[in-house]
Chains A and B, each alone.
Chain A
Amino acid sequence: MTASRPMDVVGWLRRYGTAGFLLALILFFSLENSRFLSMRNVANILTEVSIYGIIAVGMTFVILTAGVDLAVGSLLAFAGMAGAYVMKAMGADYPLSWLVALATAIAVGSLVGFLQGKTVTFFSVPPFIVTLGGLTIWRGATLILSDGSPISGFDASYRWWGTGSIAGVPVPIVLFGVIAAAGFVTQRYTRYGRYIYAVGGNPEAARLNGLDVAAIVTSVYLIVGALSGLAGFLLSARLGAAEAVGGIGYELRVIASVVIGGTSLAGGRGGVGGTIIGALLIGVLTNGLVIMHVSSYWQQVVIGFIIVAAVAFDTYAKSHRE
């Protein structure tokens, strides 16, 4: 205990490396192109990030329990479509029609999440399989529900959720901020948060400590489902239409945000703080590459590379420490 502690470079990088990389990217892109840091572009990036970032907050809970949800992109489309469909079915113009759509989207998302969670816990099907099925089931269900064509024609109060702003800040960003903060507080300061880490860290020990492991695991799929529903609603409000192809590939962006943010796929380690940085990193990178006129083909290559590099470094740092 007397030896002086040498500078732990790897440990430091592990803690702050992603944030440092994010800052370096911002610096690089802003030097490359002055438009990058314009108010308009920043708001654009953050709104884009907010939609999948909201889901990523929920996905952090799922991955902390050593699970995964591949169905979030499809569920986003299905819940958003269901919201728009029910709203339209109840007539065209009536007050608080947006509330019908919002409530329906969240309810559908929650219900689907709950069902997927129950399948995982009750039938002991691996979450990868359950949600891989969900990925195609809910995409197909969206197409059936909409017959392949988008639902549009929303009133101004509906559109406000995607395009309006509160005190100059776009609404989706405000919502993302609130949800991220709530996620952070839940993981850090509540009993429920502790239980999530316990279940992910050692499910058998969690059970022997009197936790209802099945209920806790089910709950995280419900959370990510509800947030997917909310994101579906916001996306339709932003685009002015609920589209059957909405949110395709979002599951990868969402999972990448969580993983780049340092949450372990093995469960029990990580948190929402890192996820926010991961989501921002993907948003900044995508937008920056577009501004630099890098082809979208190459963007995919770069993002894939960064996912692998982030996890490889995390694993290396862990073995290095031990």
Chain B
Amino acid sequence: MSAGSAPAASAPRKLTVAAAADLQFALTDLGREFHRAHPDVDLETVFGSSGNFYAEIGNQAPFDLFLSADSEYPRKLIEAKLALADSFFVYGAGRLVLWVGKNSPIDLGRLQMHALEAPSAKHIAIANPQHAPYGRAAEAALRSSGIYDRVAPKLVLGENIAQTFQFAQSGAADIGIVALALALAPAAREQGRYWEVPPDAYPKLEQAGVILAHAANPADAREFRAFMMSAAGRKALKSYGFY
């Protein structure tokens, strides 16, 4: 069963990828293409918050590849010898958008960042800045626009960026500061409108991945890493808003 003992096309080899929640849709697409090229690899993806994965990996969680929503967690894992130093790679930079449901009265194009101060924006969903990279970026964007103090009482915090988006999507929050990757998802496109926050309003959201030191299938993890960095992989990632 182990990866080493399997020669060519025999039983499928399992590859488990722990991925940041903003990769939810992009990775489903990437996985499909990867499977076409490597039909003998059984790819399994787990989505969640990067901080949570970091803690789990420290406790030998059975993942092969970790795709974080920042580059800090992968670096820390390498420092702690929990990940392979030479496997570190940046797969894209996340972008922030303001997102409202399609029936919202808020005119994003005209108001831009000031949309957050609109009277109908009673609750603003952002990811938790304490541990979610997108939350930290959202907070930075609010501060650099000088509106943080005015909108702080309206903030509600999602556990990760996908839950933050869900707060806005369900209408429970009137507006959300979410990942472009989620706003571009096919299911989300018809449900609302978005306006991209200027990238100079927050520190670059560089997203990186690493192969784990205790990976059961490091060989295929390397294959997947190479695929993500290939022209086809980059193109797919770009179409989901990872530049």
Q: Check if A and B associate.
A: no
Residues of B that sit less than 8 Å from A by CB? none
